[in-house]
Chains A and B, each alone.
Chain A
Amino acid sequence: MAGRVIVVTSGKGGVGKTTTVANLGTGLALCHKKVVMIDADIGLRNLDVVMGLENRIVYDLVDVAEKTCRSVAKALIKDKRLGNLFLLPAAQTRNKDAVTPQQMVAIVDELKEEFDYVLIDCPAGIERGFDNAVAAATEAIVVTTPEVSAVRDADRIIGLLQEKELYEPVLILNRLRPDMVKKGDMMDVDDINDILAIKLLGIVPDDEEIIISTNKGEPAVLNNHSKAGEAFRNIVRRLEGEEVPFMSLGGEPGLFGRFLKLMSGK
């Protein structure tokens, strides 16, 4: 059976696409799935750094597309912690036009026969890089943060995904700060649901551990003390079809808050 091909996208840059791919990839591999992550951000590659695999790159996505290396398998880098997790890195010295959507489809078609999951890290923007990343995907995860601009871009991306026949993208809300939501200084889950109206796959709280783990090249899912890591582990289980309740972030309105909300008719 062919594996699932999931693109992780957002429109806006810096909302956590690469972190999400690194964590979901690692998390799925921890569940004994065979996973390959493709960095489609040619020219601005990051996924290798976040995974701590930068110094092992020999061939990249462009080499595979141009058939400079003999097979896709030759360009895959095995993760240093998990034997069933692989990375197909982007080229750093080329740009997005170095690969065509057709080439991406061909590469992914080959990979999905071998792997349970093909995760594609989409670059920011809506141009060629987006077209490439989305071309071969059959599912999409949209990542956003609770900011008006990020939500606006996510909305745009959902529209574009639907034009590419990815009709049911799911949402990861990243970097939520329950304390700020509580004070009314940050959009809450309902505000975002109201606008985007797609299925919520998970909420990841803002967590300093993420910055530390990103710098160290060790995804947060591996850290049992990280709140964000826990959120990503839950998302992995939901991807695998398990019903997992959304974890309590301590930011829900208390009884009094809920009463106020009721009174204001919201």
Chain B
Amino acid sequence: MLLPVNNPLNAEELVFKGLKQGLTLFIPEKESFGHWLDVLDQRLDQAKSFFQGGAILVELGERRLTPGEVAGLKKILTKYRIRIKDFNPLSKKKLTPPPQERLPHAAGALLVKGTVRSGQRLENEGDIIVKGDLNPGGEIVATGDIIVLGALRGVAHAGAGGNTQAEIIAFTLAPVQLRIAHIFSRPPEGRRGRQGPEVAYIKGEKIVVERL
């Protein structure tokens, strides 16, 4: 990882640093994520006018977030009207596959551990990979691909923003609804999720599902 000499991920404090990608919040790897959220809330409260309305990057290093933790982070940032531009600007290369012709977007991937439950919504500019399920009532929106290493039973929107090359992949694909770029589809009535990984992509003007 390309890190400065004093690795802020080992620090005892939250560090905001200007990188060439933009202002970046480093959340240290020690201590619980909940602890850092409390600290962040206090810090932002003290510096309200400084951050208001901006967009930042968030560097987590080796830490993997649960959907609940992502939601918690977003909630605090939204309170101070801060948007997350992207995750892990430094460790990016490690998370994304090498750029291929089929994946022109190759932005950062957000890797989430745990189940995305009803009422939770994950968004990312780039790909989203979930190590868990996407339950009915939950939503994942990515400008890139969506990969669910489990059962996809909620709403998934890949290629949000218009990338018609985006794909949705799941170990069990039993969605409420799939969207890729501007195309919506819902599974035929009565279709039960087949066992085994499947991929959804756009063919013509339709979303098709195939065994992987």
Q: List the interface of chain A (C-beta within 8 A of B).
A: 126, 152-153, 155-156, 158-160, 162-163, 165, 194-195, 197, 265
Contacts and interface: CB of A to CB of B under 8 A. Distances in A.
Contacts, number: 42
B67 A159 contact: yes
Nearest to B32: A165
A155 B34 contact: no
A156 B68 contact: no
Contact of B195 (A160, A165, A194, A265): A265
B65 to A, nearest CB: 11
B118 interface: yes
A155 B115 CA distance: 10
A5 B114 CA distance: 25
Interface string B69-81: 0011001000000
Contact of B118 (A159, A194, A265): A159
Q: For B67, B115, B136, which residue has the most chain A Cβ atoms within 10 angstroms?
A: B115
A197 B195 contact: no
Contacts of A265: 195
A165 to B, nearest CB: 5
- Secondary structure at the B interface, as helix, strand, loop or mixed, is loop
A156 B118 contact: yes
Given A152-B118, A156-B118, A195-B135, A163 B72 contact: yes
Contacts of A158: 117
A43 to B, nearest CB: 24
B120 interface: yes
B137 A165 contact: no
A159 B120 contact: yes
Contacts of A195: 133, 135-136, 153
Contacts of A194: 151
A138 to B, nearest CB: 13
Contacts of A159: 67-68, 71, 117-120, 138
A152 B120 CA distance: 12
24 contacts: A152-B118, A152-B136, A155-B118, A155-B119, A155-B135, A155-B136, A156-B117, A156-B119, A156-B137, A158-B117, A159-B68, A159-B71, A160-B119, A162-B66, A162-B68, A163-B68, A163-B72, A165-B34, A194-B151, A195-B135, A195-B136, A195-B153, A197-B133, A265-B195
Interface in B171-212: 195
A197 B71 CA distance: 20
